[in-house]
Amino acid sequence: MLIKQADDLRYSDITPKSLYFNRRRFLAGVPAAFLGARELLSPSARARAGTTKLTAAKSPLSTTGEKITPEDDVTHYNNFYEFGTGKEQPADLAKNFKTSPWTVSVEGDVAKPRKYSLEDLMKVAPLEERVYRHRCVEAWSIVVPWIGYSLSALLKEAEPTAKAKFVAFESLYDPKQMLSPFQAGIPLPYVEGLRLDEAMHPLALLTFGMYGETLPPQDGAPVRMVLPWKYGFKSVKSIVKIRLVSGQPPCTWNEVGANEYGFYSNVNPNRDHPRWSQRKERRLGEFGKRDTLMFNGYPQVAGLYSGMDLLRYY
Amino acid sequence: MQKRRGSKILVFLLCLVPLLWLGWRAWNGRLTANPIEFITHYTGDWTLRLIVIGLCITPLRKILNQPDLIRYRRMIGLFAFFYGCLHFLTWIWLDKFFDPGEMWADIVKRRYITVGMAGFLMIIPLAITSTTGWIRRLGGKRWQLLHRLVYLTAVCGVVHYFWLVKSDIRQPLLYALLVAMLLGWRLRTWMRPAAKRPAPMRKTPAPPSPVYSQSGQLVEREPPAEA
Ligand code: HEM
């Protein structure tokens, strides 16, 4: 189809009025217009391989009023270092990633440890479709309709003991299918962690799909976390282990550079990354930059951190 | 003469290929989901690559005994500067939207920007004084001394790269090794006792006699070859 609706071109983003009155908007508008024009000519989105339909009820916890990022952008702009450090590499290198059979072990300080098959794991609670903003530590962001359920449902089923204070996550590391730690530049397997109360927050989503289908490999198939108020790297992909523990668990990026990537890594425009500012972000598909919001615009999590100096506990 | 012209045009076109490739990708919508980041990285990569290629000329002339290679050096250097300008422009336009406050804040606060900026500022005078007129005005020796700044630019470029990557240092490491080898080669040549040093290379065939201007100054048609 060659002729698209005008609003597909996102001309609304560069309204003529501000175009005349706002120099900066105008300067952003020139390349935007160029890319808008080329969008008319570019082939339609690349086909998505190996995913299946996943139906889910719309969640009341969805973020509203945001334009969903095109799926093709979300599936071809990934940080998944096990499959390459380039942004478009994971889409290619993870193409044949084997996600079935898949088991996830819930273990540690819990009354009911269990190894779940993916199928069983997906039945722990009803699946919901939740639209969230997702903010990368590298100052870009996307809006994605994820499908999953609150991690709290799974944790409740496992019954954490009184000793459990933190949740440690581990991604699959299969050297036969993935790059070496040297090639990835980070130690593997990828590990992440949350305080138990953070993990219990309803916004913390155990995720199986997006855009109405199961997750594609490059976005963390078959199961990942999505933590919309934290920088993207906290949202661990391709999970094989969820372990409840009493002490703060190690986190991969935190081990790589503790001054750059804190344990909490809540989105915070007031705490710069040592090498770049976190005040603004670029929404994929937009040319100007937006202001980054505290907790990525999810103030309902603020209670988890009351009384904490978030510049110190970044 | 015809053949020599042809080879220069060929090198010129080769240096343009990265730009054409970028344009082609842009036209086909293949600049990834974050085109600005892609362009920044792409132009940065080619700035550094051309600086490295430029630094290869002198060693290659000696090692391969191909003194004629000098004819391409100015063009390669100017293309490095050209891609550097595009790189810088991407930053001031698409990253900072010409906001001087934001730019200055980044330059003083982000060390990778600080060294990148230093590297870029240093090649500006080199681009300006790249003409034969300027070589004459400055005199070969002084011109050569000035143009050694490109060594510092190369080092700045590599440090810039090291400081901006998140974890995967393979690329900056590769450039660091190349630059270290190229600068090490020069260091070795300078340290060698003068007697053992190979005689300065002449373009072949050597001119029958030096050409002097009316004021008695030596007129060189190509930039001084040692560097
Ligand atoms: C001689 C000068 C310079 C050289 C050789 C150079 C080279 C590079 C290289 C090789 C990269 C990385 C490309 C990649 O990851 O593939 C890069 C990235 C970058 N450079 Fe430069 N650069 C120079 C000057 C500058 C200047 C003056 C600025 C701005 C003031 C600048 C801003 C940037 C930015 C913003 C990035 C991307 C950083 C990121 O994504 O985190 N560079 N440059």
The pLDDT mean for chain A works out to: 88
pLDDT for residue A47: 54
Q: Please write the tens of the pLDDT for every residue from B111-137.
A: 999 999 999 999 999 999 999 999 999
Nearest protein Cα to ligand 1, atom 2: B120
C-alpha of residue B160 to centroid of ligand 1, in Å: 7
B164 CB under 6 A from ligand 1? Answer: yes
Q: What 3-state class would DSSP assign to A87?
A: coil
Instruction: Please name the residue whose Cα sits nearest to atom 9 of ligand 1.
Output: B44
Residue A295 confidence (pLDDT) above 70: yes
Atom index in ligand 1 nearest the CA of residue B41 equals 13
CA of B165 to the centre of ligand 1 (A): 10
At A144, the pLDDT band (50, 70, 90 cuts) reads very high
Residue from the list A27, A28, A38 with its beta carbon closest to the beta carbon of B29: A38
- Six-digit token pair at A12? 């609304």
Per-residue model confidence (pLDDT) at position A36: 54
pLDDT per position as a tens digit, B16-56: 999 999 999 999 888 888 999 999 999 999 999 999 999 99
What pLDDT score was predicted for residue B192? 82
Ligand 1, closest atom to CA B45?
10
> CA dist A17 to A197, B94, B201, Å?
47, 21, 64
Q: What is the pTM of this model?
A: 0.81
In this complex, is the C-beta atom of B36 within 8 Å of any C-beta atom belonging to chain A?
Answer: yes
Q: pLDDT band for position A7 (50/70/90)? A: very low
For residue B169, give the chain A residue with the closest CA.
Answer: A185
Q: What is the pLDDT of residue A287?
A: 82
Spell out the domain ranges in chain B: 2-194
CB-based contact, B220 to chain A, within 8 Å: no
Cβ–ligand 1 distance for B50 under 6 Å, the answer no
Are B8 and B75 contacting, i.e. CB atoms less than 8 angstroms apart? yes
Q: Which of A281, A222, A250, A234 is nearest to A104 (CA)?
A: A222
Lowest-pLDDT range of A28-32, A171-175, A305-309, B93-97: A28-32
- Minimum mean pLDDT range among A32-41, A85-94, B67-76: A32-41
pLDDT level of residue A37 (50, 70, 90 thresholds): low
User: Is there a contact between B32 and A35 if contact means CB atoms under 8 Å apart?
Assistant: no
Q: How far is the CA of B153 from the centre of ligand 1 (A)?
A: 12
The two structure tokens encoding residue B166: 């998140």
Cβ–Cβ below 8 Å for A184 and B168: yes
The band of A104, judged by pLDDT with boundaries at 50, 70 and 90, is very high
* Pocket of ligand 1 contains residue B130 by CB under 6 Å: no
Q: Is B99 within 8 Å of chain A by CB? A: yes
CB A288 within 8 A of CB B97: yes
pLDDT higher at B126 or A273: B126
- Residue B17: count of CB within 10 angstroms of its CB: 10
| Separation of alpha carbons A233 and A225, rounded Å | 10
Element (H, E) at A169: strand A166-171
What are the φ and ψ backbone dihedral angles of B105, each rounded to 5 degrees? -55, -45
Q: Is B100 on the interface with A (CB under 8 A)?
A: no
Position B223 scores a pLDDT of 61
pLDDT at residue A271 is higher than 50: yes
Over chain B, what is the mean pLDDT? 88
Give the model's pLDDT for residue B158. 98
State in words which class domain A6-305 has: alpha beta
ipTM of the complex: 0.71
Please indicate if any CB of chain A lies within 8 Å of the CB of B101.
Answer: no
pLDDT at B1 over 60: no
pLDDT, mean of residues A295-310: 96
**What is the residue extent of each domain of chain A?**
6-305
Cis peptide preceding A189, ω within 30 of 0: yes
Question: Average pLDDT, stretch B182-199?
Answer: 81
Higher pLDDT, B138 or A17: B138
pLDDT for residue B200 = 59
